[in-house]
Amino acid sequence: MARRSSDFRQKEVISITEGRRLGFVSDVEIDFEKGVIEAVIIPGRSRFFGLFGQADDLRIPWSDIYKIGEDLILVKTLT
């Protein structure tokens, strides 16, 4: 099934391994030579009301994606 990067924007990502919400997809990592999506990116959470910056972005490799639904993405990963 063909997928476009825009299909992933703003989908909620949930870890089925941990049973928790990880956040929303903000970007995708693409290998243009192979023509495949390598990973989805979830922005890091703000620390202490945004005063102390932000945690590193979370990169979920394509191999960890279990299921892609209309509104969410289920992943098998530990963070």
Predicted confidence at residue 65, as pLDDT, reads: 94
Predicted confidence at residue 21, as pLDDT, reads: 93
**pTM summary value:** 0.76
Alpha carbon distance 6, 29 (integer Å): 12
Q: Which residues of 5-40 are buried (b: 16+ CB within 10 A; e: fewer)?
A: eeebeebebbbeeeeeebbbbeebeeeeeeeebebb
For the chain, 79 residues long, the average pLDDT of each consecutive 10-residue run is: 65 93 91 91 68 73 93 85
CATH of the domain at 54: 2.30.30.240
> How many domains does the structure of the chain reveal?
1
Structural domain boundaries enclosing 48: 5-75
